[in-house]
Structure 1
Amino acid sequence: MTSLRPLFAQRRAGVQERLAHLERMRAESIADDRGARLRLSTLDNGVAHLRTELAWLDAVEKEFT
């Protein structure tokens, strides 16, 4: 059976890269109007999804490797 570790590592690296990008965007954003607050809310949603995916990867990797 082929090891799943490289697959998990590759996926984790991609998620971490996207998460870092969204977190930088969030830190540099200014919520000075309704549209900006909505964009920040959308960024927060993306960050939450990526953090959830990292937690899922932790759990699945623990179970299958």
Structure 2
Amino acid sequence: MKVTIDEVKCVAAGQCVAAAPDVFDQRDEDGIVFLLAQDPPDDEAENVRQAAAVCPAMAIVVEE
């Protein structure tokens, strides 16, 4: 699994961080998401899929 983020689309809602806090975090200055793990471990796969599904801006792309 590979995860990428489109920072331009991100609206800083924080849903991804709530769904997968070991994979996503937000910048302090503007709340834009950044990756803690571009290739997350297998045990985080479902959380990452959930994060992508709940992102209101559809800024998260998951490649299986």
Do the two structures share a fold, i.e. TM-score over 0.5? Answer: no
Q: What is the TM-score when the length of structure 1 is the normalising length?
A: 0.31
Q: Which has the larger radius of gyration?
A: 1
Instruction: Report the structure, 1 or 2, having the larger strand content.
Output: 2
TM norm structure 2: 0.32
